[in-house]
Amino acid sequence: MGIGSAFAVYLLIWMVTLFVVLPFGVRTPSDEGRDAVTGHADSAPIRPMLAKKLLWNSVLSAIIFGLLWLNYKLGWITPDMLPSY
């Protein structure tokens, strides 16, 4: 796997895991017992903590990419092992 392909795979993993990480720790005004600010949606988060979530997302993506790369190099699961229908 070349460096360009590896970067593309990591970027795809990063984008998919971002949607997994974003909902964690979100508090809305209704969760806090407060009224929503005029002009904002009731479901808008009070403190989205995006920097923290982006950091966790990068760590999670690196772990998943590392496991996939090790599988690619060591051949833990190959296409021959998968059932064909």
Summarised one tens digit per residue, pLDDT across range 8-65 is 999 999 999 999 999 888 877 766 667 666 777 777 787 788 999 999 999 999 999 9
Residue pointed to by tokens 């989205």: 48
Asked whether residue 14 is domain-assigned, the answer is yes
Asked whether residue 9 is domain-assigned, the answer is yes
Distance (Å, whole) CA 72 – CA 82: 15
- The residue among 46, 49, 41, 21 whose CA lies nearest residue 31 is 46
Tokens found for residue 2 = 């070349």
Q: Under 8 Å CB-to-CB from 24, ≥6 apart: which residues?
A: 53
Of residues 1 and 30, the one with the higher pLDDT is: 1
Distance (Å, whole) CA 33 – CA 41: 15
Predicted pLDDT of residue 36:
63
Domain with 66, as residue range(s), is: 3-78
Asked whether residue 83 is domain-assigned, the answer is no
Tokens found for residue 70 = 């090790």
Asked whether residue 84 is domain-assigned, the answer is no
| Domain total in the chain | 1
